[in-house]
Amino acid sequence: TEGCHTKIKLIKRVSYGFRNIDTYIAKMTLAFCH
């Protein structure tokens, strides 16, 4: 959904530089989109 994509973009911006960024985004994607 549009809301989901907006949250993902926000997460990417906030968490930029995290060492495990891909895992972090994947977990947040699952949390927000399902």
Token pair 């995290």 is found at 18
Q: What is the pLDDT of residues 1-34, one digit of tens each?
A: 677 788 878 777 766 666 667 777 788 788 876 5
- The rounded distance, in Å, linking the Cα atoms of 22 and 28 is 10
Q: Of 33, 34, 12, 10, whose CA–CA distance to 24 is shortest? A: 12
Q: What is the pLDDT of residues 19-28, one digit of tens each?
A: 667 777 788 7
- Model's pTM, two decimal places? 0.36
> What would the DSSP string read from start to end of 1-34?
-HHHHHHHHHHHHHTTT-TTHHHHHHHHHHHHH-
User: What is the domain partition of the chain in residue ranges?
Assistant: 2-33
